[in-house]
């Protein structure tokens, strides 16, 4: 299943890139004032085409979310964000991702995160580890074969020593985040902040390129699930500010504030 899933994600990324390098993104505004492009919908359609064959229910940012009375009984379901970082996509800064997670009993047990422009693909599965593949495909439009040959390297979170690296949102920062960063930075000889868009912030921690990602702003469950699976499979944690684990398939799909760390 994982090979077919990864191929579906890569193909969705190809659909996104075709639009990314076109003259018309088809930008619309959704009811919550967030942007929607043709790329969001093209990726959604491609992912759903495969995921429907698994017989497992699907919840997508760009689909109709089932009523809670129905989905609360899901033991397993796919949770997808076809294009995370739509604002970054529109800005053309390359920091957007395709995200697919398998949720089991409120926990992400498998996740695939793909950054099409960067050519980075992350995969994590509970009790099996986390891995990264880099595609050395021709720019600007990598050609995805039906059975891509990817070389995965295992990734693990790392502990900071004297120098703390914090990753923060490129488009959504606030005073609460800045205050938290100041409070934790005092415990280290030096620190630095790097800014990223989309779910790349979480996988930066999984990969050891950053040590902590505090999120004191709104996110939805589909924004975090796939990368959450990668982080935990790599040995890191994604927890609410009070220390409780971040739960999925709540009645309200809005995430509480959380902290990702080694």
Same domain assignment for residues 113 and 62? yes
Q: Quick: pLDDT tens for 177-203.
A: 999 999 999 999 999 999 999 999 999
Query: What is residue 29's predicted lDDT score, i.e. its pLDDT?
Result: 84
Tell me the pairing of strands 163-169 and 190-196. parallel
- How many other CB atoms are found less than 10 A from the CB of residue 212? 20
Same domain assignment for residues 25 and 88? yes
Q: How confident is the model at residue 1 (pLDDT cuts 50, 70, 90)?
A: confident
Check residue 33 and give left, alpha or beta (phi > 0: left; psi -120 to 50: alpha).
Answer: left
Same domain assignment for residues 114 and 198? no
Q: Decide if pLDDT at 139 tops 50.
A: no
Final residue before a domain boundary, out of 114, 136, 155 = 155
Query: What is residue 143's predicted lDDT score, i.e. its pLDDT?
Result: 40
Query: What is residue 256's predicted lDDT score, i.e. its pLDDT?
Result: 97
Q: Quick: pLDDT tens for 107-137.
A: 999 999 999 999 999 999 999 999 999 875 4
Same domain assignment for residues 216 and 120? no
3-state secondary structure 230-250: HHHHCCCEEEECCCCECCCCC
Query: What is residue 144's predicted lDDT score, i.e. its pLDDT?
Result: 41
Q: How confident is the model at residue 73 (pLDDT cuts 50, 70, 90)?
A: very high
Same domain assignment for residues 103 and 229? no
Query: What is residue 138's predicted lDDT score, i.e. its pLDDT?
Result: 37
> Domain of 49?
2-155
Number of domains in the chain: 2
CATH number, domain containing residue 32: 3.30.540.10
- In the chain, the percentage of residues whose pLDDT exceeds 70 is 94
Same domain assignment for residues 42 and 97? yes
Query: What is residue 238's predicted lDDT score, i.e. its pLDDT?
Result: 98
Q: Quick: pLDDT tens for 217-255.
A: 999 999 999 999 999 999 999 999 999 999 999 999 999
Q: Quick: pLDDT tens for 30-70.
A: 877 788 899 999 999 999 999 999 999 999 999 999 999 99
Same domain assignment for residues 25 and 146? yes
- How many other CB atoms are found less than 10 A from the CB of residue 99? 33
Same domain assignment for residues 140 and 32? yes
Angle of helix 2-20 relative to helix 38-51, nearest 10 degrees? 160
Higher pLDDT, 230 or 23: 230
Same domain assignment for residues 52 and 97? yes
Query: What is residue 141's predicted lDDT score, i.e. its pLDDT?
Result: 36
Query: What is residue 262's predicted lDDT score, i.e. its pLDDT?
Result: 83
Query: What is residue 151's predicted lDDT score, i.e. its pLDDT?
Result: 81
Query: What is residue 149's predicted lDDT score, i.e. its pLDDT?
Result: 60
- Mean pLDDT for the chain overall: 91
Same domain assignment for residues 104 and 203? no
CATH number, domain containing residue 229: 3.40.190.80
Q: CB neighbours of 253 closer than 8 A, spacing ≥ 6?
A: 65, 220, 221, 222
Q: Determine the average pLDDT of the residues in 73-80.
A: 97
Same domain assignment for residues 95 and 146? yes
* Residue 119 burial (10 A CB sphere; 0-12, 13-18, 19+): middle
Find out whether 226 and 113 touch, Cβ atoms under 8 Å.
yes
Same domain assignment for residues 193 and 65? no
Final residue before a domain boundary, out of 155, 190, 206 = 155
Final residue before a domain boundary, out of 133, 155, 177 = 155
Q: How confident is the model at residue 89 (pLDDT cuts 50, 70, 90)?
A: very high
Find out whether 164 and 184 touch, Cβ atoms under 8 Å.
yes
């Amino acid at each position: 299943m994982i090979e077919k899933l990864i191929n579906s994600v890569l193909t969705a990324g190809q659909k996104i890139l075709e639009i990314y390098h076109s003259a018309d993104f088809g930008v619309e505004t959704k009811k919550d004032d967030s942007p929607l492009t043709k790329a969001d919908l093209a990726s959604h359609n491609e992912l759903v085409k495969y995921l429907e064959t698994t017989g497992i229910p699907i919840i997508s940012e760009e689909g109709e979310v089932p009523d809670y009375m129905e989905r609360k009984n899901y033991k397993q379901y796919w949770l997808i964000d076809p294009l995370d970082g739509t604002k970054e996509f529109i800005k053309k800064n390359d920091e957007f991702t395709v995200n697919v997670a398998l949720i089991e009993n409120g926990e992400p047990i498998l996740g695939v995160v793909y950054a099409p422009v960067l050519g980075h693909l992350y995969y994590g599965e509970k009790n099996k580890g986390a891995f990264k593949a880099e595609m050395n495909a021709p720019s600007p439009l990598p050609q995805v074969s039906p059975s891509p040959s990817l070389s995965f390297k295992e990734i693990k979170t790392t502990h900071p020593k004297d120098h703390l690296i914090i990753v923060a949102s490129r488009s959504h920062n606030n005073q609460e985040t800045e205050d938290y960063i100041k409070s934790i930075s005092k415990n280290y000889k030096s620190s630095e902040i790097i800014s990223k868009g989309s779910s790349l912030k979480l996988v930066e921690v999984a990969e050891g390129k950053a040590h902590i990602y505090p999120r004191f702003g709104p996110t939805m469950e589909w924004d975090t699930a796939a990368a959450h699976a990668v982080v935990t499979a790599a040995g890191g944690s994604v927890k609410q500010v009070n220390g409780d684990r971040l739960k999925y398939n709540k009645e309200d799909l809005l995430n509480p504030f959380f902290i990702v760390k080694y």
